[in-house]
Amino acid sequence: MPIGPVTNPPREINVAGPVSPALERVKRVLFRPFDPGKWFIIGFCAWLAQLGEGGTGGNFNFNNFGHHHGHEENVRRELARARDYVLDNLNWIVPLAAALVVIGLALWLVFLWLNSRGKFMFLHCVALDKAEVAEPWRQFANEANSLFLFRLVLGLVAMICTLPLLVIALVIVGRMFLAGQFIPNAILSAIGFGLLFFGMALLFAVIQKLTLDFVVPIMFLRRHRCLPAWKELGALISGHVGTFILYFLFQIVLAIAIGVIVLGAVVITCCLAGCLMVLPYLGTVLLLPVLMFKRCYSLYFLAQFGRDYDVFPPEPPRPPGVPPAM
């Protein structure tokens, strides 16, 4: 594996080019030949790499929006009653809430650590076409721990920067609702804090995306810790800002296309596939081609910056007269 930054000039970089080799990589690793045992082993690594991460999509119901203004007084009364109940029972509510927070933070730390280990395990399987668990677990322990620490700090900073903005916006809205009057200045303040919250959340989401899509492969190649790998990625981004913006926009297109395909599979199977997808581990195994394509796409995009950024080993030369694999 290369040990330094790119030394050869990259070829022309585009966001659509990696789609074809990513699909070809998925077919080669998972279907040539089809090996259920290999699927389940790589699927376990993919499951660790997705552990604790929220799914895409959600269910929103707008059917009743704006049709219950007559019940606002009842809602305010119930909220006031709930507030009084909480104030009268702080002696046990506060310890319970603190315990839940501690348990939640502990689970977050465990999931984040396992997830960071899984990122390198899954990348190892995808890049080298190997179904292994123990070897990448041991080999990339230091890099995974560095990634864990970086993501831990990033998550804590994100919470410190975003949660106060959200709380302030909700408090402003809640006070107006309980008072039964809507003050224009307060509404504008709530909107402002809400926009700041979404802006900050988007910023940290972009940092997280860049870390997982590109910093992890650079760490995999260089055997560097997270900050040196981020420094190298920063040099790439500074010279190709527009290209990385297009990358994020194309990710939206890919997400829509993948969502349509997955939804079609759910409909065709009369929701059987959807029921299996929500099962831990088995759902990851079922979605393994999708997860591997997404991982391969970012890897082939990065490889366009030069051979030193290509995690895939060179193809062995074919003997004369032997056609390429189909």
38, part of any domain: yes
> What's the pLDDT band for 57 if we cut at 50, 70, 90?
very low
Rounded mean pLDDT of 147-152? Answer: 97
221, part of any domain: yes
Decide which of 180 and 142 is more confident: 142
9, part of any domain: no
> What's the pLDDT band for 71 if we cut at 50, 70, 90?
low
CB 43 within 8 A of CB 132: no
76, part of any domain: yes
> What's the pLDDT band for 190 if we cut at 50, 70, 90?
confident
60, part of any domain: no
Residue-wise pLDDT for 74-132, tens only, equals: 666 776 777 677 777 778 878 888 899 899 999 999 999 999 999 999 999 999 999 99
Sequence-distant (6+) residues with CB within 8 A of 315 are none
Model pLDDT, residue 107: 93
The domain in which residue 285 lies consists of 19-52+72-309
322, part of any domain: no
> What's the pLDDT band for 21 if we cut at 50, 70, 90?
very high
Model pLDDT, residue 76: 66
114, part of any domain: yes
121, part of any domain: yes
Decide which of 55 and 15 is more confident: 15
Maximum CA pair distance of the chain?
A: 84
Q: 104-108, 136-140, 170-174, 203-207: which has the minimum mean pLDDT?
A: 170-174
Residue 155 has pLDDT above 80, yes or no: yes
Residue-wise pLDDT for 196-244, tens only, equals: 999 999 999 999 999 999 999 999 999 999 999 999 999 999 999 999 9
**What share of the chain in percent tops pLDDT 90?**
59
Residue-wise pLDDT for 234-251, tens only, equals: 999 999 999 999 999 999
Rounded mean pLDDT of 192-199? Answer: 92
Residue 181 has pLDDT above 90, yes or no: no
Decide which of 179 and 256 is more confident: 256
| Number of domains composing the chain | 1
Residue-wise pLDDT for 271-316, tens only, equals: 777 787 788 888 899 999 999 999 999 999 999 999 999 999 887 6
